[in-house]
Amino acid sequence: MFTRHRRLRKNQVIRDMVRETTLNRKDFIYPVFVVEGENVKEEISSLENNYHYSIDRLHDVVDELKDAGVKSVILFGIPGYKDEVGTSAFEKNGIVQRAVRKLKELDPELFVITDVCMCEYTSHGHCGIVHDHEVDNDETIKYIAKIALSHAEAGADMVAPSDMMDGRVQAIRNTLDENSFKNVGIMAYSAKYCSAFYGPFRDAADSAPKFGNRKGYQMDPGNVREAMLEIEDDIKEGADIVMVKPAMAYLDVVRAARDRFDVPIATYNVSGEFAMVKSAAKAGLIDEKAIVKEMLTCMKRAGAGLIITYYAIDICRWIKEEGN
């Protein structure tokens, strides 16, 4: 006696009926990179088919998002100047602050999340304030909170701290609440690993550290129990959504978090993952559309309800073509 599992795989209708995980256009968040200058829409060499936009060209990406049905973006800024304390990250008229205002003007319905970090804005490229070659945690979180507040003032719906300092979610929550931004949410990069998969992003955002590495603040890829502690703390400090990053090689972390916590979980399908798929597809080694659908489905199956991906526009178009 054995069970005929294949009965439920007999044709597409029954396969669709018993499918446990289905991608939906509302699952995706698209990363947008904004630069200074005028009339800039320049392909990012390390992230094919993704662009650096100047503020006056953001309407191009807004049109594409609308057409594809992508409802949410995460914003990254490449500022005009950098200094030791990342001043350009919290100016009222900084690149991200202007971009948020512009996006909200172009499409008030677009859900705008901002990446809150310092590495794009500091001359040394670290994610915080450096003293004696070390990132000073308690000093940094004051700046992180200030940056988050400036994004909220510009109109961001949600802020996403990616710096991996301890206590930053609490610092942000307190600052937002004290300044009447109680309804601005926090999506915390809670389990953010010190990963070689961020290489193409650092070229795109000009954010590679000028000395050392990020091992003193980002997590060790060998650890999953520690990720649970990070996530638990971020929830206690006030995170509305927690994130595991990178995605592909870290889906066990997503699953562990999904089984343990009841807040929404996001995962970031990072630049190195995107670049690997893109280059293998370009070399004719894999079927890009099939691989992307499979990869994103598996992220959702593992427990990620939200997925940040450079493929967001493509996948939403493909889902739309299929009539969903």
Q: Is 211 helix (H, G, I), strand (E, B) or coil?
A: coil
Among 44, 70, 113, 115, binds ligand PBG (CB under 6 A): 115
Largest CA distance in the chain: 72
Give the nearer residue to ligand PBG in terms of CB position, either 33 or 107.
33
Q: Is 70 helix (H, G, I), strand (E, B) or coil?
A: coil
Q: CA dist 81 to 44, 45, 78, 87, 94, Å?
A: 20, 21, 9, 9, 10
Tell me which stretch binds ligand PBG (CB under 6 A): 9-17, 101-109, 114-122, 250-258. Answer: 114-122
From residue 261 to residue 280, what is the string marking binding to ligand PBG with x (rule CB under 6 A)? ---------xx---------
Distance CA 27, CA 72 (A): 9
Per the rule left: phi > 0, alpha: psi between -120 and 50, beta: everything else, 157 is: alpha
Whether 289 is catalytic is no
Q: CA dist 78 to 26, 54, 185, 254, Å?
A: 27, 10, 23, 30
- The footprint of ligand PBG on residues 158-217 (CB under 6 A) is 162, 198, 201-202, 207
Question: Of 102, 245, 278, 300, which is the active-site residue?
Answer: 245
Whether 245 is catalytic is yes
Q: How far is the CB of 142 from ligand PBG (least distance, A)?
A: 18
Please report, as a single letter, which amino acid is at residue 64: E
Give the nearer residue to ligand PBG in terms of CB position, either 140 or 271.
271
Contact at 8 Å (CB) between 83 and 120? no
Q: How far is the CB of 146 from ligand PBG (least distance, A)?
A: 17
| 142 sits near ligand PBG (criterion: CB under 6 A) | no
Q: How far is the CB of 16 from ligand PBG (least distance, A)?
A: 32
Give the nearer residue to ligand PBG in terms of CB position, either 127 or 304.
127
Q: CA dist 47 to 22, 120, 156, 198, Å?
A: 26, 17, 25, 11
| 127 sits near ligand PBG (criterion: CB under 6 A) | yes
The count of chain residues that interact with ligand PBG, using the rule CB under 6 A, is: 11
| 72 sits near ligand PBG (criterion: CB under 6 A) | no
What is the pairing mode between strands 41-43 and 51-54?
A: antiparallel
Residues near ligand PBG (CB under 6 A) are: 115, 117, 119, 127, 162, 198, 201-202, 207, 270-271
Active site (catalytic) residues:
192, 245
